[in-house]
Amino acid sequence: MTTRLTPGRRLRRDLDSAAHNLGMEWSETDLALTLPTIEVTRDRIEALRGKFADEVDRDGSLAVRAVQLASELRQLEAQLGRLVASLGLDEDDEPGPPKSPRHQAAAQTRWDKRSHRQQAV
């Protein structure tokens, strides 16, 4: 008897493999909170996708329920993205593009003018 590999377990397996390939080890917080939440969230997304497909297949315009499911799906997908990103598996953790000294100077000038205004005596 084989255990069905849920989408959450499959994602967890893939994340474990990616961490191993990068030579990373999960922190206690990752193991206790983040990874189980990722699994549950991924499974919930899959379940809601099925419910949403059922609602969309109905004749007529989209029902309120379909709109609610779509909203919940968007929120869960965004949450899953944030959770996975918080694990730090991105190989190119380079900072964004360098800031232009000219633009930094202009911003600093604007900031200085606002914060150091002459006060009437």
pTM: 0.69
- The residue among 13, 10, 82, 1 whose CA lies nearest residue 46 is 10
Alpha helices by DSSP H, 58-100: 64-86
Query: What is the per-residue pLDDT for 36?
Result: 96
Residue 107: left if φ>0, alpha if ψ -120 to 50, beta else—which one?
alpha
Query: What is the per-residue pLDDT for 66?
Result: 85
Residue 30 has a CB neighbour count (10 Å cut-off) of: 20
Q: Which residues, 6 or more positions from 41, have their beta carbon under 8 angstroms from its beta carbon?
A: 8, 76, 79, 80, 83
Going residue by residue through the chain, which has 121 residues, state the pLDDT in tens, using 9 for 90 and above. Answer: 567 899 999 999 999 999 999 999 999 999 999 999 999 999 999 999 999 988 887 776 667 888 889 999 999 999 999 999 999 887 655 555 677 888 888 888 877 776 655 555 5
